Chains A and B, each alone.
Chain A
């Protein structure tokens, strides 16, 4: 599975945009990043993720095995909780409940975002809607913000 993670600062600028592959071909591919974020992210390649954040009297722990499917999401949650950045996560190559839309001749949705064990803070998911022929139909990004345990439902329009 591959995920794309975008991280935005308080000025709504993208400070990190990476592709994260899990499984046998686990890895990061940096699409865009500030120098600081590029340097930062290069240092966790190949490592299990393990960070703890204090929130009042609670300790929130963010752990993920390198190469695991949840790695990108855990990283995103850590960046939101510890630095106040906003993240958007696109998961691709996931089974899609929107395949029926493709059958009707609309866009083929490769992703339907469902927030899993999200923190109490609001959390951003992005659903990428691609076409069967990206050259003819530019691939829009459908953004939505969710709170815990919500399901993102996409409206796919040609």
Chain B
């Protein structure tokens, strides 16, 4: 299988266009690059990995690391048993001086449209670093598998105990975990998902 076939019914141009952003944002679309890799016969079936670099009009990078996404045609679902087409948000590190400018929201919305058109049944996120706080906000509507939520509950209890909290609290949902906990070394990577 080649790249074009793996991306059907979308095209490489559709993917690239997703990262052409509105001119109200500090991105020079002409400098944007999208690099594709194809891996066949992986654990996740055929896998398209792509990497995006964004720059300002002065050539300054907007991202600390290349934005990285995977499109897997047979990845294990987190919302239910079985395998299907899954889009994975791997890395998206916006440089600090470009935070709060609407770039992430713009790109995330565009990506969801792309993933839907590609036929993804689910979007998965490896929430790392600041993403552990960002992606767990209700507005993004991500869920955490019950297994991982249970582990987080356990870790949250221990974290409170270690930090001297007198009255231990339990989180009832993902957004109940406080920012200090989510961004602490107590937590590694959170697997999150959203059904499309």
Contacts and interface: CB of A to CB of B under 8 A. Distances in A.
Interface string B65-109: 100000000001000010000000010000000000000000000
Interface residues of A, number: 28
| A interface: dominant SS | mixed
B146 A40 contact: yes
Interface string A88-126: 000000000000000000000000000000000000000
B45 to A, nearest CB: 13
A40 B153 CA distance: 9
Interface residues of B, number: 28
Contacts of A47: 81
Given A36-B154, A53-B189, A82-B188, 17 more contacts: A9-B154, A36-B150, A36-B157, A38-B150, A39-B153, A43-B145, A43-B147, A47-B81, A51-B148, A51-B191, A52-B189, A54-B188, A54-B189, A59-B126, A63-B43, A83-B155, A83-B186
Interface of A: 9-11, 15, 34, 36-41, 43-44, 47-48, 50-54, 57, 59, 63, 79, 81-84
Interface of B: 43, 65, 76, 81, 90, 126, 128-129, 145-151, 153-155, 157-158, 161-162, 185-189, 191
